[in-house]
Chain A
C-alpha cells in the first residue's frame, strides 16, 4: 500500500480558484483511507473546512480505488458530474490523481495529497509502517503511524521489520 498525506490546508486553497467555482471532492477508499487522508472521513473533513471558508463544495464522491481506470469508469457511469463543476479535489495518491485527471479532462483536478512511500499494515496493532519511502521522506523510514489518522506513533509496535 502507499502512504499519502494531505497537504497543508493553505496549499490546497492556494490551488483553488474563486469561491464561487463549484467543487467536487473525489476521495479514495483504498490506501488513502488507511492513511487517514482519504475515505469518507477524509473527504468530510476537507469538505466542511472548505464550506466553512466559503468555498462551494457541491459533490463528495468516495470511490474504492482511484488508481483504477475501471473503477472511475464505473463511477462516471453511475454519477454524472455537472458541467458547472469546474474543479475536482483529489484525495488519493498521485497515481489516483493522475487517473482522475485522465478521466475528467474538462475539469481542473487538484492533487491535495503528497506521496510519502510504501507501507506495511498491521490491523491488529492498528499501525502501519513506512518501508520504502520516496527520497524526500527517507528520514521517516521505519516510522509507524496510526491507521485511519496517519499520525506518528511514538512507541513502535511492529518489531523486527527491516526497511
Chain B
C-alpha cells in the first residue's frame, strides 16, 4: 500500500484555483482512502468546502485505482462531456495516481494535494502504518511501522484532511424520523442520512460510491404523503419530511424480502463475513420459507486474483455498477431474463479471458462473497 500525506493546506489549494474554474474532484478509492485522504467521503467534504467558498465544482470522479493509466483513460472517455468543460482537476490520489491523471489530462490544470512518503500496510485495527519510507523522509525501515500522524509531524505535512482546518457548513433541513426531529444535510441521500443518525436500516444493493439502484428493496421506509413504501436509497432528503424508518411492520417486510433473497442463492455456503450473512443472523432466519429451483452453476476461477461463484449471487448489481462507475470498464452486465437472469462478463466469457483490469472494485462491493479474493494454497507432496 502506498502511503501519502497531505502537503497542501486548504488556503494553498484555493490559491491554485480561479473563481471561474470548472473543477472536477478526482478521488482514488484504494490506498489513499485508507490514508484518509480519498474516497467518496473526502471528495464530498472537499466539494462542500469549495462550493461554500464560491467555486464551481462540476463533477466528482471516484476511481477504483488511479495508478492504472488505462482506467484513467476510460474514465475520461466515459465522462467526456464533463471533462471537456473542466478546467481544473483536484487529484486525491498518491503521486503515481497524480502522474496518470496529469498524463491523460495534459490540457488541464491538475492539482496535487499529497506527498507520497513510502510504502506501508494496514494494521489489524484498520490503521495505516508506514514501513518503508522514501530516503528523503530521513526515516529508516520499521517492521512495526510508523503512525502517520508522527510522520506528518516530523516532515511538516498534514496528518488529516482539509476539514480539520475548516468544517464545511452545509445547508441543513429538518426531518422527522419515528416521531423525533433531526437536522440533516439538504439534498442528501435518505439512506445515508438515516444511517448517519444511527438507524440500522438493512441494505444490500446500496454503496455510497455507486449510483443507487433500489434493487434489493430492503431499505423501504414509509414517508408521509407518499403512496406505498419508498426505497430510502433512491430518495432525497427534503425539508419537513416525516419518515417511519423502523417498526414491527417494516421489520416483518424486511424479513420477508430477506427470505426471498435467500431463496435466490445458495445461502448455506455464504461467507461468514458477508453482508447478507450478517443480515440473516440479525433477523434470526434459519431457513427461508421459499424455494427457487436453480441449477448449480460452475465457479469461475479463470481470473488470477478473484473467484466468481454465481451460486451465491443475489443479482444486486453492485459489481456491475462498480465495474462501470469505479473502474470505468463495463466488463460485467446482466444477461438473460426473469429467473434466468445472471451476471456475465463481456459476452458470457470466463472473467479471466476478458479485458478485466483486476482493480477489485467489483470484489470489494460484493455483499455476498460471490466475488471473492483468490487464496491459493498448495502443499507439495513428497
* Chain A residues at the B interface, C-beta cutoff of 8 Å: 1-2, 29, 33, 39-40, 47, 51, 56-65, 67-71, 73-75, 78-79, 93-96, 98-99, 101-102, 115, 118-125, 131-132, 134-135, 158, 160-163
**Chain B contacts for A115, CB-based, 8 A:** 119, 132
Is B241 located at the chain interface by the 8 A CB criterion? no
**Chain B contacts for A98, CB-based, 8 A:** 121, 131-132, 142-145
**Known contacts A95-B120, A135-B135; A64/B373 CB under 8 A:** yes
* Chain B residues at the A interface, C-beta cutoff of 8 Å: 1-2, 67-70, 73, 94-97, 99-100, 102-103, 106, 116, 119-124, 126, 131-132, 134-135, 141-145, 304-305, 355, 357, 360, 373-380, 382
Q: How far is the CA of A98 from the CA of B94 in the complex (A)?
A: 21
**Known contacts A62-B375, A93-B119, A160-B106; A33/B305 CB under 8 A:** yes
Q: Which residue of A lies closest to B121 (CB)?
A: A67
Rounded to whole Å, the gap between the CB of B307 and the closest CB of chain A is 11
**Chain B contacts for A161, CB-based, 8 A:** 99, 103
Q: Report whether A95 and B1 are in contact in the complex, using a CB–CB cutoff of 8 Å.
A: yes
Q: A94 touches which one: B141, B355, B376, B380 (CB < 8 A)?
A: B141
Q: Report whether B376 and A61 are in contact in the complex, using a CB–CB cutoff of 8 Å.
A: yes
Q: How far is the CA of A152 from the CA of B99 in the complex (A)?
A: 20
**Chain A contacts for B355, CB-based, 8 A:** 123
**Chain A contacts for B380, CB-based, 8 A:** 47, 51, 57-60
Rounded to whole Å, the gap between the CB of A104 and the closest CB of chain B is 12
Q: A64 touches which one: B1, B116, B374, B377 (CB < 8 A)?
A: B374
Choose among B73, B103, B106 the residue with the greatest number of A CB atoms under 10 Å from its CB. B103
Top 8 closest pairs, chain A to chain B, by CB: A67-B121, A62-B376, A64-B373, A122-B69, A135-B135, A69-B124, A68-B122, A98-B131
**Chain A contacts for B2, CB-based, 8 A:** 1-2, 118
Q: How far is the CA of A48 from the CA of B375 in the complex (A)?
A: 20
Q: How far is the CA of A123 from the CA of B373 in the complex (A)?
A: 20
**Chain A contacts for B106, CB-based, 8 A:** 160
**Chain A contacts for B375, CB-based, 8 A:** 61-64, 74-75, 78-79
Rounded to whole Å, the gap between the CB of B332 and the closest CB of chain A is 17
**Known contacts A1-B96, A29-B304, A160-B103; A94/B67 CB under 8 A:** no
Q: How far is the CA of A75 from the CA of B379 in the complex (A)?
A: 15
Q: How far is the CA of A60 from the CA of B378 in the complex (A)?
A: 5
Q: Report whether A68 and B131 are in contact in the complex, using a CB–CB cutoff of 8 Å.
A: no
Q: Report whether B134 and A68 are in contact in the complex, using a CB–CB cutoff of 8 Å.
A: no
Q: Report whether B70 and A131 are in contact in the complex, using a CB–CB cutoff of 8 Å.
A: no
**Chain B contacts for A119, CB-based, 8 A:** 67, 96
Q: Report whether B376 and A101 are in contact in the complex, using a CB–CB cutoff of 8 Å.
A: no
Q: How far is the CA of A29 from the CA of B360 in the complex (A)?
A: 12
Q: Report whether A69 and B69 are in contact in the complex, using a CB–CB cutoff of 8 Å.
A: no
**Chain B contacts for A78, CB-based, 8 A:** 375, 377
Q: How far is the CA of A56 from the CA of B381 in the complex (A)?
A: 11
**Known contacts A162-B102, A163-B99; A59/B374 CB under 8 A:** no
